[in-house]
Structure 1
């Protein structure tokens, strides 16, 4: 009953082994290709207003509202004052998306009974004033710099709320806001005039022994040997698999032949 196990194993592995080998030999880039980046399924999140509402949650909803109150008029100015078609496109896209985000924010605030502001704060009004006083390339730089800095500040704040809030409506708004901010960061950076050297430096990682001791060995264990590429290593593994299966078949076949010889000699 077990005599044909190697044969069945070979038939089961032969197709995948040859397919992997062919992929590595003829298209190694495809073998290393990453899967498509997923979009979070917002429809799976509840939005009932249930859960404890913290002071940080309330502050977050207010800040999302404030972002729209100044970025919508800033985007309108970009469409009117910039001579660069790309800046005008960016301004139009960001202003339009903030209209949509503002509607989501106001709906969440009504459900949670959060009082929202009706005008930008003092800093935001100052930034809008700078844009009104600028023209041409100066306007473009101010518009991109101010919005890129603002999005860079709210980005980690959104992550903190998304990860910590107990309220399902705030959780969903944070996830939605995160998708808007990611899009706006990308649009602003597509202008080609973001001064990345002026961005704030990220804090140094925690190098305490209790954390590094648990992380470093795992990282070391997955490191590829110097000079050995991923496709070559995978090719060697596939080759070893093929040789091993062939050897197993030969050994099993020889064993069956010897058993039959002994049986015939009795």
Structure 2
């Protein structure tokens, strides 16, 4: 499975299990713009070199034994996409957990939600600091779909159905978040981003365990 697909799936699942996969849009659009800009720059460079070759009759800027203009691909783009997607999903997770701390019926769910708010807020602060150092632009707020999904779930506030929906979303989201983290740990280019993923993994696994405990109490 390509990593971009996991980005979208993990971000969507971290919002609500029933929400459309929209959390990674900012990331996808950003990468698409970067690729277009890079491609346009390459076209301009190629045209300039061809003109120089016509005038001199010699290859311009080429070295023997090397393939000119070959693109090797950038894992740094994947690291940036990971940071953007993790942040977007984190925004939704914090909002959803804050809501559950107030509106859930089960004490177990309220307690788990409070833990999630605290942990995700801490992880997101560290993620933003890392993104700032790496000059990665992060989304500023939840997506429209994320906010709409939370509003829909809030209609069940103070009912058992609310707890059921929240637990289902949290369980699916954290399970896929572990896949997202494992991808970055295994394939990420930047050592600091990989380390951030390693540090986050046991926290997310702990959240999943708490949610599953609550699932059994339903």
- TM-score, normalized by length of structure 2? 0.61
1:83 aligned to 2:111? no
CA contact (8 A) 1:79 1:91 kept: yes
Match of residue 174, structure 1, among 178, 182, 197: 197
1:57-98 Cα deviation digits (max 9, x unpaired): 111111111122111121111111112111110110011100
Structure-2 residue corresponding to 1:115? 137
Aligned CA distance change for structure 1 residues 109 and 53 (closer, same or farther; 3 Å): farther
Structure 1 pair 94/84, CA: closer, same or farther in 2 (3 Å)?
A: same
Q: Matches of 2:131 and 2:175 in 1, distance apart?
A: 24
- In the alignment, the residues of structure 2 paired with residue 166 and residue 71 of structure 1 have an alpha-carbon distance, to the nearest angstrom, of 26
Is the partner of 1:96 in helix, strand or coil? helix
Q: Which shifted more, 149-158 or 100-109?
A: 149-158
CA root-mean-square deviation: 1.9
- CA contact under 8 A between 1:188 and 1:194: conserved in structure 2? no
Mapping of residues 146-185 of structure 1, within 5 Å: 146-185=169-208
* C-alpha contact 1:155 1:178 (8 A) present in aligned 2: yes
Check if 1:129 corresponds to 2:151. yes
Higher relative contact order (CA 8 A, sep 6+): 2
Post-superposition shift, 1:193? 4.8
Runs of 4+, deviation exceeding 4 Å? none
Return the offset for 1:146.
1.2
In 2, Cα distance between equivalents of 1:137 and 1:120: 26
2:158 equivalent to 1:142:
no
Deviation of residue 55 (structure 1)? 2.0
Structure 1 runs not aligned, ≥5 long: 1-51, 196-266
> Superposed, which structure 2 residues align to 1:19-34 within 5 Å?
none
Post-superposition offset of 1:183 = 1.3
Residue matched to 2:88: 66
Aligned to 2:78: 56
The higher radius of gyration belongs to 1
Which secondary structure does the structure 2 equivalent of 1:113 belong to? coil
1:187 CA drift (Å): 1.2
With the length of structure 1 as denominator, give the TM-score of the two structures: 0.51
Counterpart CA distance in 1 for 2:134 and 2:215 is: 40
